[in-house]
Amino acid sequence: MKNVVILSVICAICMLLPVRSQAQGFTNAGEYMQFMTNEQSKINKDMWDYISTVAHSKSARKADNRRKELISTTNDAVKKISKMNAWEGDGAYRDSVVSYLKLCDIVLREDFAKIIDLEEVAEQSYDAMEAYLLAQKRANDKLDDASEMVRAEQAVFASDHNITLIENKDKLSQKLERAGAVFNYYNRVYLIFFKCYKQEVYLIEALQKGDLSALEQMRNGLSTFSASALTVIDTLKSFKGDASLTQNCKAFLSFYKKEADEKMPVQIDFYLKKDNFEKQKSALDGKPQDQRTKEDIDGFNAAVASFNAAVADFNKVNTELNNERNLLLDRWNTGLSNFLNRHVPAKK
C-alpha cells in the first residue's frame, strides 16, 4: 500500500523547507517525507511575516530584522537537515533540500543585503531604480530554480519509495504565491511611472536654475517619455480586476504630458521676458538721462510690462502645477497602500 504525503505548493520566493533534525523512529518513507513537509508551514509563516512587513513598510531595510531571523532559521536548518540519515541509502532528496537551504542562506545574506544597499540609492536615477528592481527579480529567480530542483527530487523520492504525493495549496501558500504576482505587477507599473517622475525632477532643477538650454531639453524629454509611457500603460491589464494602480499611474502620466506641452512653455517664456527686461534695463542704465530717447524709454516700459505679466503667469502656473502634483501624489500613495492592503494583507 502506498504512503500518502500532502505537500504544500508554495511560490518560489517563499519555499523554505524543513528546519529541524530528523525525528527518530520513522516507520516508513512517507513519515520521513511528511516530517519535513510539516516543518515547511512554520518557515512559511515566518516568510509571510517578512513579505507582509516589506510590503506595508515599503522598505526592505525596515524589515531587515525579519530577514536576519530568517537567515538564522535557515542556517540552523542546514545544520540539522544535513545530519539526517539517508532513507534506505537514498540521500538525493535530503541533499536537494540541503542544497536549497544553503542557496536560501546565500540569497538572504548576499542578494537581499545587496537589495537593501541598492534601495538606498534607487531614487537617484531611473537606471538605479531599474537595477534595484532587477536585483529583486534575480534573487527570486534563484530561489525559483532551486525550488524546482527540490520538487523534482521530491517526485523521484516518492516514486522510488511508493509514496503518493497530494499537492494542496493552503491559504498561506496562496498568499505567498499571490504576493509574488502582486510585486511583479507593481514593479512594472512603477518603472513606467518612475522614468517620467525622474525626468520631471531634472526639469524642475533646470527651471529653478533658469537654465533655458537644459529646461528645453528636459521639457522635450518629459513630453516624449510621458507620451510613450501613456501608450504602454494602456496595454497593461488590471490586476485581478483591480485597475486602480494603472489608473493612478495614467493620471500622473497625463499630468506630466500636460506640464511639458502646455505649462512649461509659459515658464520658459518668463525667463525670455526676464532676459529681455534685464537687457533693456542695462541698456537704459548705461545711458545718461539726457541722452535717453523716447524709443529707449518706451522699449524699457514695454519690457517692464511684459516681464510683470510673465511673473504673474509664472506664479499662477507654478501654483497650479504644485497643487495638482501634490493631489496626484497623495492619490498615488493612498492608492498604492490600498492596493497592497487588498492583495498583500498585513500580517495578523
Residue 184: inside a domain: no
- Using H for helix, E for strand and C for coil, what is the string for 18-85? CCCCCCCCCCCHHHHHHHHHHHHHHHHHHHHHHHHHHHHHCCCCCCHHHHHHHHHHHHHHHHHHHCCC
Q: Do both 211 and 260 map to the same domain?
A: yes
Q: Do both 161 and 277 map to the same domain?
A: no
pLDDT at residue number 39: 62
Query: 169, 203, 235 — which closes off a domain?
Result: 169
Question: Whole-angstrom Cα distance, residue 252 to residue 187?
Answer: 16
Which positions ≥6 away from 46 have C-beta within 8 Å?
16, 66, 69, 70, 73
Which positions ≥6 away from 71 have C-beta within 8 Å?
105, 108, 109
Question: Whole-angstrom Cα distance, residue 300 to residue 127?
Answer: 48
Q: Do both 140 and 38 map to the same domain?
A: yes
pLDDT at residue number 5: 37
Residue 165: inside a domain: yes
Q: Do both 151 and 200 map to the same domain?
A: no
Query: 169, 202, 234 — which closes off a domain?
Result: 169
pLDDT at residue number 244: 96
Q: Do both 290 and 233 map to the same domain?
A: yes
Residue 175: inside a domain: no
Residue 50: inside a domain: yes
Predicted structure pTM score: 0.76
CA atoms within 13 A on the CB side of 242: 15
Residue 228: inside a domain: yes
Number of structural domains found in the chain: 2
Q: Do both 211 and 304 map to the same domain?
A: yes
Residue 29: inside a domain: yes
pLDDT at residue number 242: 95
For residue 2, which amino acid is it? K
11-26 burial, b at 16+ Cβ within 10 Å, e below that, comes to bbbbbbbbbeebeeeb
Q: What dihedral angle (degrees, nearest 10) is formed by the CA atoms of 171, 172, 176, 181?
A: 10
Q: Do both 137 and 230 map to the same domain?
A: no
State which H helix or E strand residue 190 sits in.
Answer: helix 171-209
Residue 94: inside a domain: yes
Q: Is the dihedral of CA 118, 329, 194, 261 positive or negative?
A: negative
Q: Do both 159 and 202 map to the same domain?
A: no
Q: Do both 109 and 59 map to the same domain?
A: yes
Residue range of the domain that includes 136: 3-169
Q: Do both 209 and 132 map to the same domain?
A: no
Question: What count of other Cβ atoms lies within 10 Å of the Cβ of residue 37?
Answer: 17
Q: Do both 80 and 208 map to the same domain?
A: no
Give residue 199's Cα distance to chain centre: 18
Residue 162: inside a domain: yes
Question: Whole-angstrom Cα distance, residue 223 to residue 196?
Answer: 9
Q: Do both 291 and 164 map to the same domain?
A: no
For residue 173, which amino acid is it? S
Question: pLDDT truncated to tens, each residue of the chain (348 aa)?
Answer: 333 333 433 333 333 333 333 334 678 888 877 777 666 566 667 767 777 777 777 677 878 888 888 888 888 878 877 887 888 888 888 888 888 888 888 888 888 888 888 888 888 898 999 898 888 888 878 877 877 887 888 888 888 888 887 766 556 667 767 777 888 899 999 999 999 999 999 999 999 999 999 999 999 999 999 999 999 999 999 999 999 999 999 999 999 999 999 999 999 999 999 999 999 899 888 888 888 888 888 888 999 999 999 999 999 999 999 999 999 999 999 998 899 888 877 665
Q: Is the dihedral of CA 126, 131, 137, 141 positive or negative?
A: positive
